[in-house]
Each structure stands twice: as C-alpha cells, then as structure tokens.
Copies of this chain bind each other. A is one copy, B any other.
Amino acid sequence: MNFLIIFGGSSFEHEISIVSAITLKDKIKKHNLKFVFVDSNRDFYLIDKENMKSKFFSSGEYKKSIKLEITKGGFKYKKGLLKKEEFVNFDVAINLIHGRDGEDGKLPGMLEFFSIKAITPNIEASVVSYNKVLTKLFAKSRGVEVIEYEIITEPKTKFDFPIIIKPARLGSSIGVSVVRNQDEFNYAFDVAKEFDDLIIVEPFIEGIEEYNLAGCFANEWIFSRVEKVQKKEFLDFEKKYMDFSRKEVDLKNVEENLEDKLKENFKKIYKDEFENALIRCDFFMKDDIIYLNEINPIPGSLANYLFDNFDEVLEKLAKNLKKEKEIIIDYQYINKIQMAKGK
C-alpha cells in the first residue's frame, strides 16, 4: 500500500513527531511511504524519503521542498511554469502529529472534512484522550478505573506528597513533575502553567507497576505484546525520548491472566470511540486493580516496537477504515417552508 505520513505540527511535541516519522521510515518495510511535513507555521511540505533526517527540518532546509495545500481527497501542489495542479498520490494517510494539531482534533477534523482516508483518531476520540480530565471521566463512564485527581488553580492540593502534577492537555510527559514538598510544588506548578491553563494533580504512588498495550480494531481485535515499563522512578521528557526508538524493549513475560485483563480494559476504552486509530493505552496496576493512566491515540512511532508484524497491522487497519456517515441533503424542510409561505 501507499501510505502518506503526516508529521510535525504546531505542537510542543513537534520534534518528537519528526523523530517518530523518521523511525517509521525504517520500521515500515513492505509499504511505499510518502511524507508530509507540517511546519511550525502550519505550512505543508512534501518531503522526499531520502530527506527524512532530523537535520533537514531543524536547519530549515525543508523549505525548499514542494509546498502543498490540503484539499478534497488529499494534497495538491502547483507544478512547473504553467502552475498545473498536481495531486499527491497515496492510498491512506497516517496522522503522526503528536500533541496539538494532531491529537487535539484539528488534523483529524480536516482529514474527515476533506474526505481523506486516514489512520487517525477521530475528533471526539482525540479530544477525549487529549484532555486528561476528560480521559478520566470517559474511562470511568466505561467502567475503567483511573487514579483520583484534583484540578488545581494554585499550588495547593488535598493530597499528601508525593504528588504528580500535569498540564491537562499534553502528552510525552512534557511539563509533568513529581513533587515531594511545597517548594517543588510551587516551581512545578509554574512549569505546568507554561503548557496549559488546566492543571491536575494526582497522588504519586511509589513503585506502581506500569503496563503498556497497543492495538486497534480492524474487523478483528489486534493487540501488541504487553510492555512492562522498566523505570527507576518517573521518565521525564528527556529520559523518555533520548532513547526514542526503543529498539530493545524489555518484554518480560506478563502472566496470561494479567494480559487478558489489560486487553479487556483496552477494549472498553477503544470500542466505538477509537475506530480507525492505532492507540496505546498505558495502565497502572496496584493491589491487583488496573487503572488507566493515559490513552495515546497517536503513540510515538505508532508503538511499532510492540508488534511482531507491524506492516501487516497497518495494512489490516488501512483496509478496514470506517467511513463517515453519509448525510443526504434534499431541502425538504426549506421546500416545506416555501410551500407554507405560498412561494
């Protein structure tokens, strides 16, 4: 298949998205890939595969690439002196913009508006996972446990230290801090505030076990292996992404019973909400209870490292994308008004 990977975006995770796309270039082996870069100015560029190197973007060299416009069915550009309109050829787009633009619903909405077939969470799924408060409300409504939380407007909380403080609408641990005393709290609050006006705190539970599970529904459930996250304490942004490709994930054998429970919780979250998306759910476990920590509707490099045959997963999902409901507009109502008015 011919995939078009869209990455970048006006997002705090812009650079992660670049690294994510570069990673996928090597990990997707059986399919043809094209790349569309959304720069910080939200201009679209068609990027040649051989230019998929981080320096090409950080240096600004990408600006010499073909500039695209989003339009019905895909992306177009003007070719040659006669400025003939050409269209970028592909079967299915992949939304790989992490954070704002990609995961807040903007690109998902545009892809749907312009009838572009894509592997992406839809708008609602994006919003539900982008805002951590909504994630918790949503998960609870589906019978999935979450860690208790408090929305704060100043560095004060009902919880005892240690706590974890998070901007409500960011992924990749940006702006997140573990806080052990009031001084740290004051500082961490200011840090979080730089990223979002909505801030939450949760009790930080030492030694909690963390499990990640990725998957999708493509006419059948497809699950990744379960990753038991190995970490000393808490992975901040740099620790997490300086080793982004995670070539050697420590996939300890997770007991079957636990794996089933994780899958069951994953299904409760995914069903009828995350269709067309390949997502990763991050779970906590304590005292045999599973808690949803967060939903990554566009996980880093699509969590390819958790799947045995990632090419096949993409293909299955791409072939089973659900279309938007068709709405027929026949002007019955206006015709009725006109008749009523005798016009």
Residues of A participating in the B interface, judged by any CB pair closer than 8 Å: 10-12, 14-16, 18-19, 40, 42, 54-55, 57-58, 69, 71-72, 100-101, 104-110, 112-115, 123-124, 126-128, 130-131, 133-134, 137-138, 141, 197-198, 238, 241-242, 272, 327-329, 331-338, 340, 343
Contact = CB atoms under 8 A, between A and B. Distances in A.
23 contacts: A10-B327, A12-B327, A14-B327, A15-B329, A15-B333, A18-B334, A40-B327, A40-B329, A42-B115, A57-B331, A58-B334, A100-B327, A101-B113, A105-B109, A105-B124, A106-B109, A106-B113, A107-B109, A107-B113, A124-B134, A128-B134, A134-B137, A238-B333
Contact of A110 (B58, B110, B336): B110
Nearest to A100: B327
Given A16-B333, A107-B109, A198-B272, 4 more contacts: A10-B329, A69-B69, A105-B124, A106-B110
A40 B333 CA distance: 15
A74 B177 CA distance: 39
Nearest to A341: B54
A185 to B, nearest CB: 22
Given A15-B329, A54-B337, A110-B113, A123 B134 contact: no
A18 B332 CA distance: 13
B340 A242 contact: yes
The SS class assigned to the A binding surface is helix
A128 B197 CA distance: 18
A72 B123 contact: no
Contacts of A10: 327, 329
Given A55-B343, A106-B109, A333 B123 contact: no
Contacts of A134: 124, 128, 134, 137-138
A304 to B, nearest CB: 19
A133 B336 CA distance: 33
B127 A123 contact: yes
A124 B19 CA distance: 27
Contacts of A327: 10-12, 14, 40, 100
Nearest to A40: B329
Nearest to A273: B198
Contacts of A126: 123
A37 B133 CA distance: 36
Contact of A58 (B104, B105, B106, B331): B331
Contact of A106 (B42, B72, B112): B112
